[in-house]
Structure 1
Amino acid sequence: MRISLLRSALYMVLAGCPVVSLQAQQRSDSTRTKDLREVSVIAPRGGKEIAPGQQLKGAELQRLNSQSVADALRFFSGIQIKDYGGIGGLKTVDVRSMGTNHTGVFYDGIELGNAQNGVVDLGKFSLDNMEEITLYNGQRSSIFQPAKDYGSSGSIYLTTLKPHFEEGEKRHLRGTFKTGSFGLVNPSILWQEKISKRVAASFSGEWTNANGRYKFRYQKRDKDNNALGYDTFAIRRNGGINAFRLEGSLHGVMNGGEWSSKIYFYDSERGLPGTMVNNRFIHVDKQWDRNFFAQSSWRKDISPRYSLMFNGKYAYDYTHYLSPDTAYFAENRYYQQEVYLSVANQFAVTKWWNVGLSGDFQWNKLDADLKKFSYPQRFTTLVALATSVSFQRFSAQASLLNTNMNEQVKLNTASPFRQELTPAVFVSWQPVKKIPVTWRSFYKRIFRMPTFNDLYYTDIGNSNLKPEFTTQYNTGLTWNQTFHGKMLQEIGVETDVYYNEVTDKIVAVPGSSQFRWTMMNLGFVKIKGVDVKVKAAWQLLNELLVSTRATYTFQEARDFTDKSDSFYGDQIAYIPWHSGSLIIGGTYRAWDLNYSFIYTGERYNMKANIPANYTLPWYTSDLALAYTRTVNKTRFRLTAQVNNLMNQYYDVVANYPMPGRNYKFILAVNI
């Protein structure tokens, strides 16, 4: 029965079927060659976005030359990246200090899941096949979307390249080769084929191999974190990676709609270099990951007033962890499966009033070779009712999400049935028609379920855990202005002030002895913050275009769990009070120059804000120079990049040293 269910779901996904009509973006560059990225998907009817997200796409994303999605996300305001170092190191994202598990990550419109620990490693996702990265606080302001899209405190949408062909074109081919520090060898290929007027195929493959070795500086400190001098330089070892990625997709259009199907496979072996404590520099832990998913979407405007969308996905994830050098030898294997089905409806009641209704079903299962393991399964149903109104200068959206969760286990006690009802309201208003200033605000209450590890991990799991809730209040202003025929062509400013609360926060606490811990709902965090984003573009000469983008974030995220704690009211771990970024890009004829800067201010690496836990600010500067040339309709692009230009030694996560100055060279060929 179980096999037939999974087989039927997989067939449904692979049968394929999404979405709306395609519209080509006309874009030219100084070399007058065509690009593989000239396509956009028209959003469902319902007016402009009430709360536009932060976005990196197209040429701006390409100029960053980042190795992974996580590296690019550092340039968004309100985000903190936990980076454990190196090419293969774990990289997770925390939006506005609410916790990694409250951020949903969507790959071509469907969420990436990890029911085991709730963490999506964004370091595994390459930018080689990426068209656009968008971050939404609260949620995306479309009401024509799956119910899952309403279910996160913040959402990251990763959109891959889609085929677009000019008249007479049938095939696009791009090969890329990256090499540089850490023994990096990283070839990739992107192939797009026009099958018919309405159907196109895309294939992307990539291999990443690196030894991960780099020099770092080890500093002795006393118990109060005072420096005792730099006593040694060492080589970071066991940070190598050998990873292989394959993606294949079909894209089709139909009258009033569009469909697509995708298959994704990722296989990696990487070392886990571990923490640098007690003069221990060498670790030999290993991890093997194998991820597969097949997903499909179908969307059609059934009539001028009614639109329908289906989504489906099957995912299988395998993790093998080996720790041979500890006093207690550990070798574990984990197997996850997921089936996801969704239907979304949108009704245009009038020209200015839309109503949406979405229903999702998701099944998750986790197996492991642990003793006394519970072997949990989770059955989730979500129903979202949403409505939006859109006028010339005023827009509003309200949604209500109903979530039901039921779990089953083979051993031990299952988590009880949960039902939660969570609202959200978004408003946008332009007070004066001739002044391009918009006020926007939102309120949202949402939760995240405890992960399988929280509930069932041997000895520390607690199946009675309640959901962890977040409540968000946000208000802000945006101003965007374009100038025709002027040196300053475009300028935009966005600022947001927000207050968040995290209640019933899931934390590990000591149990019957200091050696036996368990998971409990004990945490309460208050978060106050300000995000500022500024962008501008200048045409300084006839052929010199300069663009700038800057962000600044202030966050006060304080722990108010227990007044008896010595750290009551302290800033929570790894959240800096001040952080920011800067990107300056220049294009002159066939040359591109890009400078980027990241700053993370002082913070603490543990709950208690005491000198022993103090972590210094860090900053990095990256510089890249690219040259593009076209020969016989083939475009060559050569890039040289220096990362951490000032060779600063720093830790993002305490005792996980980051690389100093390092280099990368990229050759890309478009046919």
Structure 2
Amino acid sequence: MNHLKRNAVIAVACCSVAVPLASQTRLDSLQQLPEVVITGQSGDRQLRSTAPHHILDGEQIRRLNSIQLSDAVKHLPGVLIRDYGGIGGLKTISVRSLGAHHTAVSYNGVTLTDQQTGQIDIGRFSLDNVEQLTLHNGEDDRIFRPARSFAAASALEITSARPRFDGDEKVNGKATLRGGSFGLINPSLLVNSRITQRVTATLSGEWMRSAGNYPYLLRYGTTAGDSTSRERRINGDVENLRLESSLHAQISERSRGNLHLYCYDSERGLPGATIYYNTLHNAGQRLWERQFFLQGRFEHLFSRQWELRGDGKYQQGYLHYFDPSYLGSSGKVDDIFRQYERYGSISALYRAFSNLSFAASSDLTSSTMHANRQGFVTPTRLTSQTVVATRWVSEKFQASASLLHTKTFESARNGEAGVNRRRLSPYLSASVRPFHETDLRLRAFYKKSFRLPTFNDLYYPQVGVRNLLPEDAEQYNIGITIGGDAGKWLKHYLFTADLFNNRERNKIVAYPTGNLHQWAMINVGKVTVNGADLYFEGTTPLREKMTLHSGISYTWQLATDRTDRQQVNYGHQLPYTPRHSGSSRLTLEVKSLQVAYALVWSGIRYSNGYNDAAYLMGGYTDHTISATYPFHTRYGIFTLRGEALNLGDRNYEIVRNYPMPGRSYRITLTIHF
């Protein structure tokens, strides 16, 4: 892990040279127009949104006993996390069964990308410095944003904590030390600094290490009488380092900006699937990953009608995969991939009237991938995206519409390049409040979107196909929202219910081309998803200084393959997609003490597109409890938390043959200064 230490020094040096750009003190007062005010609170935004919109704020995240981002988003409706086990396992997010490729992940308003695979491993994001998580289906009602954020079928938005100060305070922050089962150790530090009255900064760092060698029960069959053995996971260790820095500046009365630097370095073992009667086999597969990006934003308010915003980003990605047990002629796989991205966006907002706004945005992205493979084509993709959008806001009625134009230009340094593509993506949504007496709203949206073939789809040796079509997706949604204050026993509640229909065409799948050793990517898949989401959260005051916070979500999905009526799997449920799933959470606050309970559950699933009993996977439940208590001292506030995870001690599998850890424990000490 010497390279981790070396990169830590480099990352700290990068953080020290960042240039101040932004804060948000006086400019907010200039923006209190209907478009902003009416969605100012997170509860109001969820209630009034024209498309499903779910928020977990910082306090809710802390109650969920989560270390990683993937642990928290499991509590949002319609979300499926594909988890390959343990803290170091790959974790991807799919919303309403459209797949990880159709779900964008953004960080402080700028979309994260991986042109090689098309999906983001959300397991590498910590929650230690996250202020808010937001899940959008369709689109967010805020139309003043980069064009790239309009592209995906759904989006998970990560918002990091901004520096805040009391009175004349110059410096504050927190230090955390977390330890737990299976060799987990996880220290972190966050420091906020007020450099001047107009400039503030944050610096945070986190190191995490886990042996990942948890025990599990291996079953040699699916019936109760089949043999079992107690085994231990091998090669599941992980070590990673995260460093972040941000600067925020109020440049003038009407201008502000910010700059964010992110550095991540990880090394982990890949334990692989469990193998009957050979559980001690260690394939020795390793994965090294490094991510770096620097992104900035500038906003200027010309008048009450006109506002301008610019975003820019530079990103580098490094991935090294090593497999010493490869059975090919080389005897091993030792692949190194490097990605480079340059991104720029400019957006304009025009408030024509108090209720009507228009926005336009244009983005340009250049992405290049290099590899150590001999003869690799070294592809570059230049993507141009332009969007026009409008929004109407009133107390009774809201509506949003947008039209996104996307064009790609493919090139390759060696060999043939992929086909250039052009697409239009329309979106329309509306909500209405039929009754003045209650805040009940009806909403609906329609969206057409697509996802481009990845670099792997187009260029992977002996598999990639240059003329692949993009995957097309259509979404339909109708729903209701209601919330507010229901009286003495229920305050600040929110209830949402949505019915949805998704249709996916030209799905990209791997297909044998002559024998089982020669595969190619082709457009053959068609998928239809019908479903329903239910969500509730509320606060109940039980007595003085005793409050109960609750939340529950439920999702029903019928996600079926509609590719070919002649195939045996026609009409069968998609792999790893339960028809029924959900979560619940309860937090009891008694004075300063917090006791929390969280549950995530899933119904039965199939590990194959052919829903035969041989591929049936049982449902599971995962129960977690925790207790948190703060101590006020002369040195600051000390917070102690104890957690017990997976109380049922079940080694359930989200992905077949990748067992999850059983019961485990964590203890966390945080010092706020």
Question: Taking structure 2 as the reference length, what is the TM-score of the superposition?
Answer: 0.93
**In structure 2, what is the equivalent of residue 5 of structure 1?**
none
The reply on whether 1:155 has 2:155 as its aligned counterpart is yes
CA deviation vs aligned residue, 1:166-186 (integer Å, no higher than 9, x gap): 211000021000001110010
Amino acid at match of 1:591: L
SS in structure 1 at match of 2:148: helix
Aligned match for 1:577, one of 576, 579, 591: 579
The residue identity in structure 2 corresponding to 1:164 is: R
Aligned partner of 2:494 among 492, 506, 531 = 492
Question: Does the 8 A contact of 1:18 with 1:311 survive in 2?
Answer: no
C-alpha spacing 1:594/1:17, structure 2 compared with 1 (3 Å):
same
Task: Give 1:261-410 correspondences, 5 Å limit.
Answer: 261-281=259-279, 282-283=281-282, 284-328=284-328, 329-410=332-413
> How far apart, in 2, do the equivalents of 1:639 and 1:22 lie?
37
Q: Partners of 1:343 and 1:120 in 2: how far apart?
A: 25
What is the match of residue 421 of structure 1?
Answer: 424
1:553 is aligned to 555
- Residue 92 of structure 2 is matched in structure 1 by 92
Give the Cα–Cα distance (whole angstroms) in 2 for the partners of residues 434 and 455 of structure 1: 56
Q: 2:654 is matched with which residue: 652, 655, 658?
A: 652
Deviation of the 1:257 alpha carbon:
4.1
2-structure distance, mates of 1:23, 1:337:
34
Aligned positions of 1:498-577 closer than 5 A: 498-577=500-579
Alignment of 1:591-630 (within 5 A): 591-630=593-632
| Partner secondary structure for residue 440 of structure 1 | strand
Q: Partner of 2:574: helix, strand, or coil? A: coil
Match of 1:412, SS state, is coil
Q: How far did 1:228 drift?
A: 5.4
Q: Which residue of 2 aligns with 1:30?
A: none
Q: Does 1:469 align with 2:469?
A: no
The corresponding residue for 1:35 is none
Q: Distance in 2 between matches of 1:662 and 1:42?
A: 49
Contact 2:34/2:355 (8 A) holds in 1? no
Q: Distance in 1 between matches of 2:239 and 2:586?
A: 33
Residue 411 (str. 1) matches residue 411 (str. 2): no
Q: What letter matches 1:491 in structure 2?
A: Y
Aligned residues: 643
CA shift, 1:231, in A, is: 2.5
- The separation in 1 between residues aligned to 2:81 and 2:359, in whole angstroms, is 34
Unmatched runs of 5 consecutive residues or more in structure 1: 1-9, 26-39
| Contact 1:116–1:366 (CA under 8 A) maintained in structure 2 | yes
Q: Kindly state the Cα deviation for residue 50 of structure 1 after the two structures are TM-superposed.
A: 3.1
SS at match of 2:659: coil
1:246 maps onto 2:243 in alignment: yes
Q: 1:326: Cα distance to partner?
A: 2.9
Counterparts in 2 of 1:68 and 1:162: CA distance versus 1, 3 Å: same
Measured in 1, the distance between the counterparts of 2:198 and 2:278 equals 59
CA distance in 1 between counterparts of 2:287 and 2:225 reads: 35
**Is there any run of 5+ residues in structure 2 with no aligned partner, and where?**
1-13, 40-48
SS in structure 1 opposite 2:654?
A: coil
The letter of the residue matching 2:203 is F
Equivalent pair of 1:468/1:506 in contact (CA under 8 Å): yes
Q: 1:371 to 1:22 in 2, by over 3 A?
A: farther
Aligned to 2:367, what secondary structure does the other structure show? strand
RMSD (CA atoms): 2.0
Superposed counterparts of 1:438-449, under 5 Å: 438-449=441-452
- Moved >6 Å (runs of 4+): 22-25, 40-44
3-state SS of 1:182 partner: coil
SS at match of 2:550: strand
Confirm or deny: 8 A CA contact 1:429 1:439 kept in the other structure. Answer: yes
Instruction: Report if aligned partners of 2:464, 2:520 keep a CA contact under 8 Å in 1.
Output: yes
Per the alignment, residue 190 of structure 1 pairs with 190
Q: Is the 8 A contact 1:24 1:164 kept in 2?
A: no
Instruction: Report SS of the residue matched to 1:66.
Output: coil
Aligned to 1:670: 672
- Percent of aligned pairs with the same residue? 34
**Aligned 8 A contact 1:44 1:144 in 2:** no
Residues 571 and 85 (structure 1), Cα distance of their counterparts in 2 relative to 1, 3 Å cut:
same
1:535 is displaced (CA, Å) by: 1.2
Cα displacement (A) at 1:376 = 0.4
8 Å CA contact retained: 1:312, 1:341: yes
Q: What is the CA-CA distance between 1:64 and the residue it aligns to?
A: 1.4
Identify the residue that residue 62 of structure 1 maps to in structure 2: 62
Deviation of 1:391 after TM superposition, in Å, equals 1.4
C-alpha distance in 2 between matches for 1:443 and 1:286: 43
CA distance in 2, matches of 1:406, 1:185: 46
8 A contact 1:626–1:637 mirrored in 2? yes
Tell me the residue number matched to 1:259: 257
Per-residue CA deviation, residues 393-452 of structure 1 (Å, 9 max, x unaligned), is 101011000001011012232111111011000101100111110011100000000000
Secondary structure of the equivalent of 1:303? coil
Equivalence map 1:166-205=2 (5 Å): 166-205=166-205
Q: Secondary structure of the equivalent of 2:568? A: coil
> Using the alignment, how far apart are the partners of 1:631 and 1:315 within structure 2?
42
Q: Determine the C-alpha separation between the residues in 1 that align with 2:248 and 2:302.
A: 19
Q: CA deviation at 1:656?
A: 0.2
Contact 2:341 2:368 in 1 (8 A): yes
* C-alpha separation in 2, matches of 1:440 and 1:280: 54
Determine the C-alpha separation between the residues in 1 that align with 2:598 and 2:409: 47
| Partner AA of 2:272 in structure 1 | G
User: Against the structure 1 CA distance between its residues 257 and 20, is the aligned structure 2 distance closer, same or farther, given a 3 Å change threshold?
Assistant: farther
Determine the structure 2 residue equivalent to 1:79: 79
Q: Deviations over 1:299-327 (max 9, x none)?
A: 12111100110000000000010101232
Give the AA of the match of 1:157: E
Structure 1, 652-661 or 387-396: larger mean CA deviation: 387-396
